Structure formats: C-alpha cells, structure tokens
Structure 1
Amino acid sequence: MSKKRREIPVFEHPIIETHCHLDYLKDRPLEETLERTRQVNIERVITIAVSPDNLATVRELSQAEPWVYGTQGIHPHEAETYTDAVEEEIRAHGSDEKIVAIGEIGLDYFYDHADREVQKDVFRRQLQIACDLNQPVVIHSREADDDTIAILGEFESTLKRRGVIHSFTSGPELAQYALDQGWCLGFNGITSFNKAENVRDIVRMAPIEQILLETDSPFLTPVPYRGRENAPFYLPFVAEKIAEVKELPLEQVIQQTYLNSLKTFFPAA
C-alpha cells in the first residue's frame, strides 16, 4: 500500500519561488501550474534562463502574469554555445522591467558538458554583464568550488549586488566564502532527501538571513512528492524542511526568506 501524500501546506505569510524553469514543465498546462502556485500563497515566481534557445522564451514567460519574473543568462552546460551575439542579447535584455537577475551562470565540473576553460571564460563575461547592469546573479556551481571562489573573488569590488548560489550542494568552504561576501544560498527539495545530510549541514551553518527558497522545478521534487514532476507549488515543503533543520519557528523562516528574496531580487519593493 502506498503511503498517502500530505496536502500542500498554505501559509498565511506569502513566499517567493526564487528559481524554477516554467518552460520545462510538462505535466500540466502553464495556466494550471500558475493557478495552483497562487493557491498556496506564492506571491512571486522567478523562471530561469539557461541557454540561447530559451532567453526569449523566459522573457515571454515573464509577461505571463504580473507576478512572474525572469532572468537572462547561459548555464555552464551551454557555455560552448555562448557567442558575441548571445552576449549582446543578454546585455540588451538583462535589465528589462521583468528581468531580475543575470543567470543561471557558473561552473559545472560534474558533467563537464562544456570545456572547463570555456566555462570559466563565459562565467567571467556574464559576471561582467551583471556588474555593468547592476544586477544580481544566479550561480550554478557543482564540483567546482575552488574555481568558483577564485572567479567570484575577481569581482568582489565590482559586483555591487551579489545574488545567490542556487541549489547549494557544494562544500563548507564555498558556503563560508559566499556567506562572508554577502551572498545568499538557495535550497530546494534536496534538503528533504535521505542521503543529503551534507546539504542539511550547510543549511545549519547558513544564517537564516542569507537563505532563499527555491524548487528548481521540474527537477528535485521534495519529499513527500518525489517521483513526480516538481513544480513551484511544492515550495512550502522546502520551507518546512528548512525550519525543521534549523530548529526555527516556521513562521520565522517564511518571513525572513521572503525578506531575503525581496532584498536580493526586488530591492525597490
């Protein structure tokens, strides 16, 4: 007999989905996903660009509803598709009204889908765009802690608005560096996985004032819905897990991560 899944909790205080991929969702129409997302009191959603193929798509999605926003950037997996024309497009739209960050950018040495030197070059070029546009960044770093620290260090004085290292699964050295520099760390359904004690250790060390909530949907569906396609409306389970791991009142976690999200992506709000 299968274990009955809990209903998705609805909190009185709104929450913000800081990282998802709306154009990757397949299980239901976008309108239904957004409706269910609003029903669980998610106030804003940020959908993330990853490749030249979806830069324009993300901009279009950011117009779907007043509370949907987007980013512009090229994921390290796609670094070898980065061209001067792509850079020009990111620059041209990186500070559009509904675009709130440059990302998802960074380094991925786990899959090595792109040459590492190319990844580093593209990472630097996009960090420079963020500096020039005064935008925060959404960073992907996997098995690349030392190079991520080194490259971010090159921009310590010029990148005035930091951002987030999303889906944080790296080691304590990168976590501590990022926290010391004023970055946020993004956590998602991985925090609920049985074998993710290393991630929960980082949650414990991170001040609640520097934590953001995300789903990274359609990936990394949290317990108790693992096995299904992830979606923004599962974000409340991430909030609950963060509160449990940090041994903090749930309401405190919800309110503080909401403020963190505003400070990072919506400073004028």
Structure 2
Amino acid sequence: MTMLIDSHCHLDFEALSSDLDGVMARAATAGVTGMVTISTRVENFSTYAELAERYENVWCSVGTHPHNAHEELHIEVDELVRLSAHPRCVAIGEAGLDFFYDNAPREAQATGLRRHIAAARITGLPLVIHSRQADDDMAAILEEEAGQGAFPFVLHCFTAGMDLAQRALALGGYVSFSGIITFKNAEEIREVARIVPSDRYLVETDAPYLAPIPHRGQSNEPSYVRHTAEKLSDIRGISLEQLGAESTANFGRLFSKTGVR
C-alpha cells in the first residue's frame, strides 16, 4: 500500500478529538504513516504537544491562526522560538492572511505573520502559511521578508491563483494540496497542481474541514488524504506510488525535524 503523510490537520478539534483512537486506526488502515496537528492558538500549545506525545506518528506546530491574530499580539517572537524547542514541535504556524473572513484586523494579521516568519528564520522550522483572498499582500510580504533572510515555508491548503504559487515557488516555498482539488469548481487550483515541481508539493486534509469527494459534506479526517493523493496523481499524470514517494520525501525535507526520509 502507498504510504502517505497528512501534513496538516487539527486533531484537537472536537470532531476528531472525540474519537482519536478511531481516527488513528483508520489512518493506519489507509496507509497514512504520519500527520502534523497544527496550532491555531499559541495559548493552547500544551494541547498540541500532548497529542504529539501520545502518538508516535503525530507531530505538532506552534502558532496563531490569522483569525485569532488580534487575540495573541502579546506573544512575541522569542516565545514562539522557545515553545518550538519542544521535541515534537516541527513547524511554526499556522499564520497568515485571511481577507475572506476578516475575523481579525488586517494589520494584526500582517504583524502576526511577520513575527512567525521571524521565528521560522531563527529556528529553521518551516512556516505553515494560511492565505485566503490575500494573494497580492501575501506575495509582497513573503518577498520583502525573504529579502531580509531566507526561511522555509509552505502555502497550506492552496486556494490561491497561479501568480502567488509562482512567486512562492521562486522563493523556495512549498505548496500543499487538500481535498479542494477534488471539487468540481477547483480547476484553477488543479492547474497550479500540474505545474508545481515534483520536489515542492505536499498533501494534507486540513481535517476536520474540507473533506474530499466522495466524503464532501462530512467531517474530514487524516485517512481521507488518500482521496486527495489519488486525485493529485491523476492531475499530475503519475502513479499513486510515485506521488506517495515524492510527497513523503518532500515532507521529510521541509519538516526535517520529524526525521522522515
């Protein structure tokens, strides 16, 4: 069976946390060998760390989702760096810009994003970036910050246009695809999925959100990353086995602290 890694999920959310052992068992049956449970609030870091300590194939991140940026502006770069030293913490974020919901002031989102970039630059851990309907602002910040020093990053759950993808790739970034690529109206994202270099893409669920077809409308979970991988292999014109090997190698290179090879 092709082995896969879910590079982005939220195991602390009730839809998954209420049946964690079942979630993990179904993931194993589907060939999902690892997953990263992603932070949305730094103040909840102990929860993410406990999940990563509980399961040997789960890692975590530390960061503030842009929806919550205004609520954690008191958290400085040094605190992100300090918490990221936890042995099971393998990434910074998710942080970024969400101009679709605008749940936090845009200035607060940008401030938070720049702090997370600084933490990624200091630690060498990859920054997990959330970007929604903010392509121009995101590209500008990434390019400006890269000019001050390189940092590893991934555009998670990619929903943006070709321009942001190409500008991010030019900076050495990675692009991660979710179940959205299985949706009927996602042709623009599928076009991006065709052009991302073979050493720069990942797969994810963003569970419990965005379940892929044939589970759309249900609660998502890590085992469903297999449907995304199958669709992505079709889009890219390669076998599922090759996609599993490439995406896992890419994950191990970007999330190097996991030790995945």
Where 2:97 maps in the other structure, the secondary structure is strand
Q: Which residue of 2 aligns with 1:225?
A: 215
Letter in 2 for 1:223: I
Structure 1 residue 218 displacement after superposition: 0.2
Change (3 A) 1:32 1:179: same
Q: Which residue of 1 aligns with 2:8?
A: 19
Q: Which residue of 2 aligns with 1:154?
A: 144
Letter in 1 for 2:130: H
Q: Which residue of the other structure, out of 71, 74, 79, is the alignment partner of 1:81?
A: 71
Structure 1 gap segments, 5+ residues each: 1-11
Query: 2:61 matched to 1:71?
Result: yes
Q: Which residue of 1 aligns with 2:171?
A: 181
Whether contact under 8 Å (2:73, 2:108) holds in the other structure is: no
TM-score normalised according to structure 2 size: 0.93
Identity of aligned residues (%): 36
Deviations 1:97-153 (A, max 9, x none): 111110101101111111111111111111111111221110001111111111111
Deviations 1:66-91 (A, max 9, x none): 11100000011101012334655422
Query: 2:111 matched to 1:121?
Result: yes
Which has the larger displacement, 36-45 or 83-92? 83-92
TM-score normalised according to structure 1 size: 0.91
Q: Which residue of 1 aligns with 2:234?
A: 244
Change (3 A) 1:161 1:121: closer
Q: Which residue of the other structure, out of 93, 100, 106, is the alignment partner of 2:90?
A: 100
Q: Which residue of 2 aligns with 1:262?
A: 252
Deviations 1:206-240 (A, max 9, x none): 12221100000000000011121000011111110
Q: Which residue of 2 aligns with 1:133?
A: 123
Letter in 2 for 1:155: E
Q: Which residue of the other structure, out of 26, 30, 33, is the alignment partner of 1:43?
A: 33
Whether contact under 8 Å (2:65, 2:94) holds in the other structure is: yes
Whether contact under 8 Å (1:134, 1:159) holds in the other structure is: no
Q: Which residue of 2 aligns with 1:91?
A: 81
- Once residues 20 and 85 of structure 1 are traced to their aligned partners in structure 2, the CA distance between those partners, rounded to angstroms, is 23
Structure 2 gap segments, 5+ residues each: none
Query: 2:17 matched to 1:58?
Result: no
CA RMSD of aligned residues (A): 1.6
Q: Which residue of 1 aligns with 2:187?
A: 197
Whether contact under 8 Å (1:130, 1:159) holds in the other structure is: no
